[in-house]
Amino acid sequence: MKIGFIGSGNVGQTLGRVLIEKGHEVKLGAREPAKLTNWKQSLGNSELASVGTYREAAEHGELVINATPGVVSLEVLQSVGREALAGKILIDVALPLAFENGELRLSSPPNGSLGEQIQHAFPETKVVKTLNTVTSALMVNPLHLAEGQHDMFIGGNDADAKNEVAAYLRQWFGWRNIVDLGDISSARATEGLLLLSSRIYGAFGHSNFNLKVVH
């Protein structure tokens, strides 16, 4: 599959590397693609790995992943344009976080979420919010923690798109427990988990943790 990443930070590079190892054609989109030379070299200059602008990555992908910092996601996606994303699944892994007076807070609207903002701005795109509740290391290797017995949440308006993405999460990364939280408004809850996660990080001093719903 051809997969385009809008965003080339740690999350994009980590996910991209694993997907290339699994045989997918990955293009990382960046504001300055030339800065990704080392990433390509670290992959042995694989023919499956390429870099480009945000728009080039979006056009490349049969499926697109938004891995930009949440505070700039809308701006970057709007620079890409609706046409490049129309009809495609957009997996949104971005976290709308900001620091204010030394305190971590959400930058999304009080009664909304980044996921909803993206879906509203791109009505012809199937936005699926997932993977945003764990670190990049756990995104690609859930078995590293508790033998994989913890939960990944997913939300979006298009049921078929969610089912497709859930299947990818199982095939690509080994996620066993995927909880469908409903439509894209569920992004309010999963993005809001950042506030809890930051406190858990402060209590334990590391980020190798996740949630498990017991019922």
Give me the pLDDT at residue 46, please.
92
Residues 5, 9, 11, 16, Cα dihedral to 10°: 50
Least-confidence region, from 5-9, 67-71, 96-100, 123-127: 96-100
Contact partners, residue 165, CB within 8 Å, separation at least 6: 89, 91, 128, 130, 154, 156
31 by DSSP, 3-state: which? coil
Q: What superfamily does domain 2-204 belong to in CATH?
A: NAD(P)-binding Rossmann-like Domain (3.40.50.720)
Rounded distance between C-alpha atoms, residue 117 and residue 209, angstroms: 28
Rounded distance between C-alpha atoms, residue 164 and residue 46, angstroms: 27
Contact partners, residue 69, CB within 8 Å, separation at least 6: 7, 9, 94, 95, 97
Q: Taking 90 as the threshold, does the pLDDT of residue 74 lie above it?
A: yes
For residue range 104-136, what is the model confidence (pLDDT) as tens digits?
777 777 789 999 999 999 999 999 999 999 999
Calculate mean pLDDT across residues 22-37: 94
Residues 62, 66, 68, 74, Cα dihedral to 10°: 110
Helix axes 73-80, 114-121, angle to 10 degrees: 20
Calculate mean pLDDT across residues 150-156: 98
The ranges assigned to domains in the chain are 2-204
